[in-house]
Amino acid sequence: MTILCYHSVAPGWDDPVSVEPIDFDAQCAALARRGDVVSLTAVQAHVAAHGDAPAGTTVLTFDDGFADFVDHAVPIMSRHGLTASMYVVAGSLRPEGVQVDWITGLDAADAPPLLTTDQIRELHDRGWHIGSHTMVHADLPTLSEAECLADLTESRELLSDLLGTAVTTLAYPFGHHAEHVRRAARHAGYDIALALPDKPEQGERYAVPRTGVYRGNPMWKFRVKNMGLYARVRTSSAYQHATGAASALRSRIGA
């Protein structure tokens, strides 16, 4: 099982979080041939019970709520008969909007546009799953539990009111979480919360592991990332030790 995490699908945005449409199309074609992509909602009960999706399935998720999801990602996925979950920064629903200040090296003024409320509502009405990505994309472990609870509750309620149905899934900004963050997610009314681990951690319903797909990932790497054991191997202590040793060796050679 794999839950893949995307952010943007847009031509010409030279940033790690943005996959070129031609590459995304090739990835979707490969997934369609396998025939194992399912919606998160279809396996949500299993994820809540086991902290992971069922073996032999792939779930697609998108974080941040960039408008290019509608412009590029949705048409490509629809052509291949695939579906995905979109995690929206709910502060974008407020009249003043939200600053996209979380992309490293990108000035907020130069950030690509986010989905409008009408686009989010239309996506939901067409069957695309919408979840919460907090209010302003804050790094939740840096907040107190009370601050996390307030943020996660407000974002869930704003989205639920917009869509006319309960929003019960959350994706942590940057994939970061901690014990008090997970506790706040539960108390805020979420059924599951998705992470993006880059170090060893125990998966559970409020720390469901995902694997990020980034700009320039070749097809062989995409296929490896879509293997069920990839996330477990990458976040294992042995892998972390090996990559740390390799990095130290490269540093010594470079010196």
Tens digit of each residue's pLDDT (9 = 90 or more) over 190-246: 999 999 998 778 889 999 999 999 999 999 999 999 887 676 666 655 544 444 444
Residue-number span of the structural domain to which 71 is assigned: 2-254
Name residues whose C-beta falls within 8 Å of residue 60's C-beta, 6 or more positions apart in sequence. 4, 6, 31, 37, 77, 82, 83, 84, 85
> For position 248, what pLDDT does the model report?
46
pLDDT at 38: 97
Distances, alpha carbon 240 to alpha carbons 35, 141, 201, 234, 235, in Å: 32, 22, 12, 7, 7
Residue 45 CB coordination number (10 Å): 11
CATH number at residue 125: 3.20.20.370
Which pLDDT score is estimated for 125? 98
Residue 250's pLDDT band (cuts 50, 70, 90):
very low
State if pTM tops 0.75: yes
Contact of 241 with 199, CB cutoff 8 Å: no
> Which span out of 52-56, 161-165, 247-251 was modeled with the highest average pLDDT?
161-165
Judged by average pLDDT, the poorest of 6-20, 143-157, 162-176, 187-201 is: 187-201
pLDDT at 174: 97
Count of structural domains, the chain = 1
The residue length of the chain stands at 255
Q: 59-78 pLDDT, tens per residue? A: 999 999 999 999 999 999 99
